[in-house]
Chain A
Amino acid sequence: MMRQVALGTVELQTRREMLDLVVVDGKARGIITRNLLTGEIEAHEADAVVVCTGGYSNVFYLSTNAMACAVTAAWKAHKKGAFFANPCFTQIHPTCIPVHGENQSKLTLMSESLRNDGRVWVPKEKGDKRPPQDIPENERDYYLERVYPSFGNLAPRDVASRQAKYRVDEGRGVGETGMAVYLDFRDSIKRLGADKIEERYGNLFEMYAKIAGEDPYKTPMRMYPAPHYTMGGLWVDYNLMSTIPGLFVAGEANFSDHGANRLGASALMQGLADGYFVLPYTLGDYLAKTKLDKVSIEADPFKAAINQVNGDITKLMSIKGTRTVESFHKELGRIMWEYCGMARNEKGLLKALELIPKLREEFWTNVRVPGEANYLNPELEKAGRVADFLELGELMCRDALERKESCGGHFRTSTKLQTMKLKGTMKNSAILPLGSGMDQVKLKLGTKKNSNLKTLNSQLAVINRGLYVS
């Protein structure tokens, strides 16, 4: 791209935010942007539009995303008619530095690779507030190794995240807030030496020490899951074109590659695949095959879009209420995390669907946006983004409510367990929640014969593989 920039065929327009899509005769023909430094509203005409604006984890307020990540561009396209697919498929990453308090603004991801050498545990006793090094071995619950002996600490992301939640819900969470679990490198350091651990994870250990103020070589890290990636997004076909002809969507902004649960390192890969191998061919193909009339930013659809954008901004600025944008975003985040987070059920989702529209109504009558519209105004930028999150949040809950089965990142606790009787010598049955990631395997064994358990284990392993591969 920089080659084209040097040749003058591409002009970079930095510090702009897309605030609307312009559709002319059913085709995407331009966008409206706001210049973040001057507040100017700008119209751009185009033969086609490619949206690469990332995911919407910030709907949870606290996430591993950067602060400016928003759903706005994708959401405006959705409101102009592009279908939105799988909005409730969100990934909660198991290894993040936990929340410290009310003023926390974001969560930092620690690489998943840490689980290669770290052992995850909580105290066996509820409310055990002793420092980790004072808790003897037999009073620690290495719960991932206990619940998933074949996966151990390397259990899949959604499973590891939910297990951490269960431990915290049981009152066995650690740290001052009780909202964390330990990730302990003591045994690996003993086995491999601190040098080897430093070589593998030195930068991560340093980062952790900086944020948490504790030395992970001496005391276990505290970890808790955090929203990290959104598998859902604008629906696209195999050519990465949305349901609006001429609107292409690449990367996390689309829904296409990750099903219900993204696997490690594949987000970057999708960016490369979409950008290098798909779009250069499909976009050219669209332009070659499509007859496009000339459009001008003076045309009515552009004027209408500019009016809409200006209208929304004027409205936001004129409310002059009593609550800050941030306070609405935090409240929405808490609702989403509580009722549409790691585990969801009908009751909670219905509750969220009651709370979100109320919050949205309060936002549009009581938000306070300081400053001016036609000047640099970070609060106004945030207000626009939160307004869109308040609409997206509702859609996510509706989708989660509609999807009664559990699937990857979407885990319904109320899913009626499909039971399956294992054949063989088993006297009693094993109840397996199929499709739920094997979280709640309930074993009812009358006679605990070793051979029976072995059969059961091998069958579980088969089912496990089936679930995770598919």
Chain B
Amino acid sequence: MSAKTIDLTLKVWRQKGQNSEGSFKEYPAKGVSVHASFLEMLDQVNEALISQGQDPIAFDHDCREGICGSCGFMISGNAHGPIKSTTVCQLHMRNFENGEVLTLEPWRATAFPVIKDLMVDRSAFDRIITAGGYISVNTGNAPDGNCLPIPKPDADEAFASAACIGCGACVASCKNASAALFTSAKISHLALLPQGQIEKEKRTIKMVEKMDSEGFGACTSTGACEASCPKDISLTNIARMNREFLKAALCEKPEHHHGEG
């Protein structure tokens, strides 16, 4: 299936490290199979760069099936490129025209410092998750089937929120670099399920506080995050987060020290 190929020009953001200055450099991508994925096209460019003794373009990736959340950068202003509900690893070159000029940039946000080229440090997301803590359900014998009844629509909604892969496209697309869509998806996923009720208030407050302290901007409900999300995470998650946060702020019990372990 390698018959049809296209030629492209890439303008790629090159930056050695967090504290170095970056700039755009131009590279040709010639003879790209239309069946290749965007990352396979970059592999091809990198192979050529290495052979010419140049530094290959650094980008994050792992599963290349759109499920791990490692990959992602801006392609001519669009997070993960022009096709909806698609990560760059699942974006295929048949979606581009011969001769196109594409601009590749890393996610740009204060909370996501550039590691190198198109790679950014998204550990702020990890710290938001960690701030949410854990669910106090002990492992052990499997519970009886149906002992925790969950209505199908709730299960489906929780699942839809859980589909977030934490890639960071929402932050990169937001004019405020807000992490509201990501944080709200994580809060919603557990808030919708009975297992998540016990620590719901504490979790919501801690995750929202962490989100703010990591340097993400505020949400102004523009909706660019939803439009760019490769996993179709819905804006209603943000409404739910705001509601849960308000409820929690009013109802939260004073924190007392407990020595669980």
Residue positions of A touching B, CB distance < 8 A = 2-7, 9, 14, 37, 66-68, 100-106, 108-109, 175-177, 207, 210-211, 213, 276, 322, 324, 326-327, 368, 370-371, 375-376, 378-379
Min CB–CB distance A55 → chain B (angstroms): 14
Given A101-B33, A105-B39: A213 touches B94 (CB 8 Å cut-off):
yes
Contact of A104 among B36, B50, B116, B133 (CB under 8 A): B36
Min CB–CB distance A107 → chain B (angstroms): 9
Bound-state CA distance A109–B66 (Å) is: 12
Q: Are A100 and B64 in contact (CB under 8 A)?
A: no
Min CB–CB distance A4 → chain B (angstroms): 8
Of all chain A residues, which has the CB nearest B126?
A14
Bound-state CA distance A204–B111 (Å) is: 35
Q: Are B130 and A2 in contact (CB under 8 A)?
A: yes
Q: Are B134 and A2 in contact (CB under 8 A)?
A: yes
A-B contact count (CB 8 A): 105
Instruction: Report B2-30 residues with CB < 8 Å from chain A CB.
Output: 2-3, 17
Contact residues in B for A371 (Cβ distance below 8 Å): 55-56
Q: Are B139 and A176 in contact (CB under 8 A)?
A: no
Q: Are B55 and A101 in contact (CB under 8 A)?
A: no
Q: Are A106 and B64 in contact (CB under 8 A)?
A: yes
B43 in the interface (beta carbon within 8 A): yes
Given A2-B130, A6-B133, A376-B116: A211 touches B63 (CB 8 Å cut-off):
no
Given A2-B130, A66-B63, A326-B47: A14 touches B123 (CB 8 Å cut-off):
yes
Contact of A101 among B36, B39, B92, B130 (CB under 8 A): B36
Contact of A379 among B3, B44, B56, B66 (CB under 8 A): B56
Bound-state CA distance A378–B43 (Å) is: 12
Contact of B50 among A3, A5, A324 (CB under 8 A): A324
Contact residues in A for B2 (Cβ distance below 8 Å): 100-103, 176-177
Contact residues in B for A102 (Cβ distance below 8 Å): 2, 33
Min CB–CB distance A18 → chain B (angstroms): 17
Instruction: Report B41-61 residues with CB < 8 Å from chain A CB.
Output: 41, 43-44, 47, 50-51, 53-56, 58, 61
B240 in the interface (beta carbon within 8 A): no
Of all chain B residues, which has the CB nearest A7?
B261
Min CB–CB distance B254 → chain A (angstroms): 19
SS class, residues of chain A in contact with chain B: loop
Bound-state CA distance A103–B30 (Å) is: 13
B62 in the interface (beta carbon within 8 A): yes
Nearest 7 CB-CB pairings of A with B: A101-B2, A100-B35, A100-B1, A2-B134, A176-B1, A66-B63, A66-B62
Contact residues in B for A210 (Cβ distance below 8 Å): 86, 90, 92
Instruction: Report B156-177 residues with CB < 8 Å from chain A CB.
Output: none
Q: Mark B84-97, 1 if CB is under 8 A from A, else 0.
A: 00100010101000
Contact of B47 among A9, A66, A177, A324 (CB under 8 A): A324
Q: Are A379 and B50 in contact (CB under 8 A)?
A: yes
Bound-state CA distance A14–B58 (Å) is: 18
Bound-state CA distance A467–B4 (Å) is: 46
Q: Are B92 and A211 in contact (CB under 8 A)?
A: yes
B260 in the interface (beta carbon within 8 A): yes
Contact residues in A for B51 (Cβ distance below 8 Å): 322, 324, 368
Q: Are A3 and B1 in contact (CB under 8 A)?
A: no
Of all chain B residues, which has the CB nearest A67?
B62
Contact residues in A for B1 (Cβ distance below 8 Å): 100-101, 175-177
Bound-state CA distance A403–B115 (Å) is: 48
Q: Are B134 and A100 in contact (CB under 8 A)?
A: no
B209 in the interface (beta carbon within 8 A): no
Contact residues in B for A101 (Cβ distance below 8 Å): 1-2, 33, 35-36
Contact of B130 among A5, A37, A176, A326 (CB under 8 A): A5
Contact of A103 among B3, B43, B58 (CB under 8 A): B43
Bound-state CA distance A48–B115 (Å) is: 33
Contact residues in B for A7 (Cβ distance below 8 Å): 260-261
Contact residues in B for A5 (Cβ distance below 8 Å): 130
Bound-state CA distance A103–B5 (Å) is: 12
Q: Mark B70-95, 1 if CB is under 8 A from A, else 0.
A: 00000000000000001000101010
Contact residues in B for A276 (Cβ distance below 8 Å): 139
Contact residues in A for B64 (Cβ distance below 8 Å): 66-67, 105-106, 108
Bound-state CA distance A37–B17 (Å) is: 10
B65 in the interface (beta carbon within 8 A): yes
